[in-house]
Amino acid sequence: MTDGINVGKLLINYKTLEQFKRFKEYGNQELSMLEDLQNNIIENDSESPFYGIHVGHNLIARMSLYRVRAKYDAYFEPPQDYLELWKLEVLPDYRGRHYGKALVDFAKRFQLPIKTNPRINSHGFWEKMGFQKAKYEMERDLGENPLIWMPEGVKEKDA
């Protein structure tokens, strides 16, 4: 269903920064994504954590994907590297066309467990994508309600 939709790594440059400003969510998450991008522009040797989908020259959907090393894994059994998926967003005119699903499917292709902290009102989307609520652990989750996806052979760590 997401055939023909190309997800690509976004370049870390000022053009990408300008394109990010078109996205609606200008809360703390959005500002931190802009800061991430600006910091990466300055460092310039950093591997881009940003992925997106373009229609023509327009960035219409994006996410950031960070790889967390196994030694910091507090979610999965056996402990292993996992992906943290942040700030998935599709521009309003392009919603309902499977672009969000294409981004999630792209992340799943790494065959690593994935953790995300969904926005309010997005739980239905994540459940359709096969994510489940992580068992809440106060010290680890600090008021967040993470959702996780696990490839075959991986299970959730017991609390």
Residue range 81-131, pLDDT digits in tens: 999 998 899 998 999 999 999 999 999 999 999 999 887 778 899 999 999
For residue 33, what pLDDT band results from cuts at 50, 70 and 90?
low
The encoded tokens of residue 84 equal: 């943290």
Question: Per-residue pLDDT tens for 87-100?
Answer: 899 998 999 999 99
pLDDT given for residue 147 in this prediction: 95
Place of tokens 């997005």: 122
Q: Which range, 15-19, 31-35, 47-51, 93-97, has the best average confidence (pLDDT)?
A: 93-97
**Interacting residues of 83 by C-beta distance below 8 A, sequence separation 6+:** 65, 66, 67, 68, 107, 110, 112, 113, 114, 115
- Class (C level, CATH) for 7-156: alpha beta
